[in-house]
């Protein structure tokens, strides 16, 4: 296969992201991305550093996209309304983009990969600002964000894998999850402030 003239790194990453979303991150390969773009696998190496580099690029792209959606969800809202809207945006992103979402599950340290760490940190900054608006202590931000992320990830992972077989409305269950998390954060702060 001849190299496709004008192929860009962004096109390679987008093709890989679309493949990961439609077929699963575990099915992603350079050969499959190249075939979808009509090029040979070796031609992708001028755009990404192998499969590992492609996964890394996907993680950066996914984190930027999630950050955009989280910021959009928080825009014009404050406090509980902002946090609830962010929760809905997170769930929507995870369900619409399962392959991209899968790249966000391992967070490197700043020493291991400063670029990916910074990309992932953008969402954390938005959440930290919302937690501050709720009056929650800055010292607790990381732990609260981890708790929120864990709850959201658990829910969307179960939902995506068909883990909710009981005849109750899944959307209503998600509302309950958000309510419990937010009330728990606020109650914890009141308890710690006494």
Backbone angles phi, psi at 76, to 5 degrees: 80, 5
Q: Boundaries of CATH 1.10.10.60 in the chain?
A: 1-48
Residue 2 has pLDDT above 80, yes or no: no
Tokens 């959201």 belong to: 152
pLDDT recorded at residue 130: 94
Residue 3 has pLDDT above 80, yes or no: no
Q: What is the pLDDT of residues 136-154, one digit of tens each?
A: 999 999 999 999 999 999 9
Three-class HEC string of 171-192: HHHHHHHHHHHHHHHHHHHHHH
Q: Boundaries of CATH 1.10.357.10 in the chain?
A: 57-193
Are 41 and 30 a contacting pair, CB within 8 Å?
Answer: yes
Residue 1 has pLDDT above 80, yes or no: no
Cα–Cα distance for residue pair 101/156, rounded to 1 Å: 10
What CATH number labels 1-48?
A: 1.10.10.60
Residue 35 has pLDDT above 60, yes or no: yes
Q: Is the pTM of this model over 0.85?
A: yes
Cα–Cα distance for residue pair 186/80, rounded to 1 Å: 10
Residue 159 has pLDDT above 90, yes or no: yes
Cα–Cα distance for residue pair 62/121, rounded to 1 Å: 12
| Domain 57-193 listed as CATH 1.10.357.10 | yes
Q: What is the pLDDT of residues 89-127, one digit of tens each?
A: 999 999 999 999 999 998 888 888 888 999 999 999 999
């Amino acid at each position: 296969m001849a190299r496709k003239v004008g192929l860009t790194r962004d096109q390679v990453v987008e093709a890989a992201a679309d493949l990961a979303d439609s077929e699963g991150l575990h099915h992603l390969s350079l050969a499959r991305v190249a075939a979808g773009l009509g090029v040979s696998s070796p031609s992708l190496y001028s755009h990404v550093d192998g499969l590992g580099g492609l996964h890394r690029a996907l993680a950066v792209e996914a984190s930027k996209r999630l950050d955009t959606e989280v910021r959009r969800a928080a825009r014009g809202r404050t406090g509980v309304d902002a946090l609830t809207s962010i929760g809905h945006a997170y769930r929507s992103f995870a369900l619409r983009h399962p392959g991209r979402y899968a790249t966000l599950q391992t967070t490197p340290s700043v020493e291991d990969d400063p670029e990916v760490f910074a990309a992932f940190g953008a969402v954390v900054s938005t959440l930290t600002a919302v937690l501050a608006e709720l009056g929650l202590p800055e010292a607790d931000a990381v732990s609260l964000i981890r708790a929120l992320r864990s709850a959201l990830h658990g829910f969307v992972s179960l939902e995506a894998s068909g883990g909710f077989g009981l005849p109750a409305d899944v959307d209503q269950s998600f509302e309950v999850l958000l309510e419990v998390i937010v009330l728990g954060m606020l109650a914890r702060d009141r308890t710690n402030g006494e």
